[in-house]
């Protein structure tokens, strides 16, 4: 089975820690669906996620993005969500950014967070691929957005 739109396998893990407190993940894995409860203080869902958590007491931001070309307003929303995540991390909160597989949309937002915290685009991409999966950011459109500083 492969991730929709890209010829890559679904991940084995529901999420991976990229830097302390910041996790990147997905709703689906190769073996099961990933339902969360109170494991995180802030969850950002970039894929329709009703029924997959988090608990109603957990801050939950839904920003449904296509795994494709983004409109300028969508890029702006990515930057705004990244600022919220940086603020949460400064408050020592545990954050999960998730999409379907935890590769592209979540990688785009996590890269934006890492760059807001001082990493270069190449450093952010490398770290995400090392910590989440070599398949992370397999969407060349998103890699271009990151490298051009558009998010």
Q: Which domains does the chain carry?
A: 16-147 (3.90.190.10)
Other beta carbons within 10 Å of 123: 13
DSSP state string for 79-133: HHHHHHHHHHHHTT--EEEEESSSSSHHHHHHHHHHHHTT--HHHHHHHHHHHT-
Determine the Cα–Cα distance for residues 23 and 19; give it in Å rounded to an integer: 7
**pTM of the predicted structure, to 2 decimals:** 0.94
| pLDDT per position as a tens digit, 88-147 | 999 999 999 999 999 999 999 999 999 999 999 999 999 999 999 999 999 999 999 999
Task: Tell me the per-residue pLDDT of 24-83, one tens digit each, with 9 for 90 and over.
Answer: 999 999 888 999 999 999 999 999 877 899 999 999 999 999 999 999 999 999 999 999
């Amino acid at each position: 089975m492969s991730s929709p739109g890209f010829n890559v396998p679904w991940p084995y893990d529901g999420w991976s820690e990229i830097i302390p407190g910041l996790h990147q993940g997905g709703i689906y894995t190769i073996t099961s669906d990933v339902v969360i409860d109170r494991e995180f203080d802030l969850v950002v869902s970039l894929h329709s996620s009703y029924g997959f958590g988090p608990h109603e007491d957990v801050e939950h931001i839904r920003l449904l993005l296509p795994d494709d070309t983004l409109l300028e307003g969508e890029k702006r929303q990515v930057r705004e969500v990244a600022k919220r995540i940086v603020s949460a991390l400064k408050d020592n909160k545990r954050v999960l950014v998730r999409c379907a597989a935890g590769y592209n949309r979540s990688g785009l937002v996590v890269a934006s967070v890492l760059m807001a915290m001082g990493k270069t685009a190449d450093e952010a991409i490398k770290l995400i691929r090392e910590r989440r999966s070599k398949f992370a950011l397999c969407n060349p459109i998103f890699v271009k957005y990151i490298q051009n500083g558009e998010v």
